[in-house]
Amino acid sequence: MIRPLLSLLLPLILTCPGLDGPGPDGSGPDRPGPGDKEYKNPVFEPILADPTVVKADDGYFYAYGTQDDWGDGNGSRLIPTVRSKDLVHWDYVKEAFTRKPAWKEKGGIWAPDVVKVNGKYHMYYAYSTWGDVNPGVGLAIADSPVGPFVDQGKLFDSRDVEVPNSIDPFYLEADGKKYVFWGSFSDKPTQGTYGVELSTDGKSVPDLSKKVKVAAGDFEAVMIQKKGDYYYFLGSKESCCEFEKSKYHVRMGRSKSIFGPFLDQEGKDLKERGTGTLLLHGNDVYAGPGHNARWVTDDAGADWLLYHAISKAEPRVSSGANRRVLMLDKLTWKNGWPEISNAGPSIENRPAPLFK
């Protein structure tokens, strides 16, 4: 009886959290667990690309990522959703959509931006394929952060707004008005990052002709956030998705106006190519860090940035997708500019955010 009993118990012993690899909460022999004062990257895996984060009424942070096939046999997730109390320990919840939006024949749902607008959860998302000549931005709305998000249709596509590669939407409220910013890479003269005012309910764009260009066409994944007197523009450059060879990185500028001019530390306008002060780049362990969410301020007043990166040791999943894991690092401020230690993803245990 001993041998059969051991054969039943052995798989449980070998997979016990803390004995061999990370447990369901991400903890393990070399990774802090819940309640610890330290954390170690990545904070979620295998994939949560192009993350956005929102604090919900239930006290949880919810993060959402681009549609991806994790290589686990469950197919391509239509905007995976995870949640956390502390930005460190994330649990998978569900897909945000039950079906793809119908306003475009084919494509993936990319780079969502989820925010709370007028008591509802708005998801501004890109709908595109690689090399798409007419990608666009849509809106879905839910009563709950876990959805299901009900599609409201297209806000605009590249033809409507006359901006090539119209993806990567970002929502911003300022001075009592609502705006959406968007844009991605292109060599065309009209390409760049643009912003335009939304309707008061955030569901439409009254006048697309009033769009304003704020950055050049070598930026994507715009994030604009105010601290003190300035709006800070964080944008990603170069290749997001070349596995361990990815050169993605984050550069920044700042302005006292949401429409700029956004200037880097050398005083150069981000509307010119080749500009932007470096905030974050790859290192020996992680390639292609970028497409960050809004920073989150903890109860100690520290600011934290979520973004994705690719482990050079494990750059892909079995589906062939880039293994873009969720990363977390602290922003410190010096002379009115944010910094990340060593300008790269942290690879050792670090003090965790403080949430009471």
At residue 218, φ and ψ (nearest 5 deg) are -105, 10
CB atoms within 10 A of CB 207: 8
CATH T-level topology, domain 38-351: Tachylectin-2; Chain A (2.115.10)
Per-residue pLDDT tens digits for 134-167: 999 999 999 999 999 999 999 999 999 999 999 9
Rounded Cα distance, 270 and 192, in Å:
10
Active site residue 220: yes
Residue 20, pLDDT above cutoff 50:
no
For the four alpha carbons of 334, 340, 343 and 348, in that order, the dihedral sign comes to positive
Q: What was the pLDDT predicted at 11? A: 38
Q: How far apart are CA 68 and CA 92, in angstroms?
A: 14
Q: Considering the chain, what percentage of its residues have pLDDT values greater than 70? A: 90
Q: What is the pLDDT of residue 7?
A: 38
Measured CA to CA in angstroms, residue 76 lies from 92, 98, 129, 205 at distances of: 15, 12, 14, 30
Least trusted range by pLDDT, from 183-192, 292-301, 304-313, 347-356: 183-192
With a cut of 80, say whether residue 16 has pLDDT above it: no
**Residue 33 vs residue 50, higher pLDDT:** 50
Q: 107, 124, 103: which is closest to 115 by C-alpha?
A: 124
Q: Which pLDDT score is estimated for 36?
A: 73
> Residues 257-262: what's their mean pLDDT?
97
pTM of the model: 0.90
- Both structure tokens of 308: 């994705």
| Average predicted confidence (pLDDT) for the chain | 92
Catalytic residue among 50, 68, 151, 218: 50
SS3 category, 330: strand
Catalytic residue among 95, 220, 264, 329, which? Answer: 220
Q: What confidence score (pLDDT) does residue 25 get? A: 42
123 pLDDT higher than 70:
yes
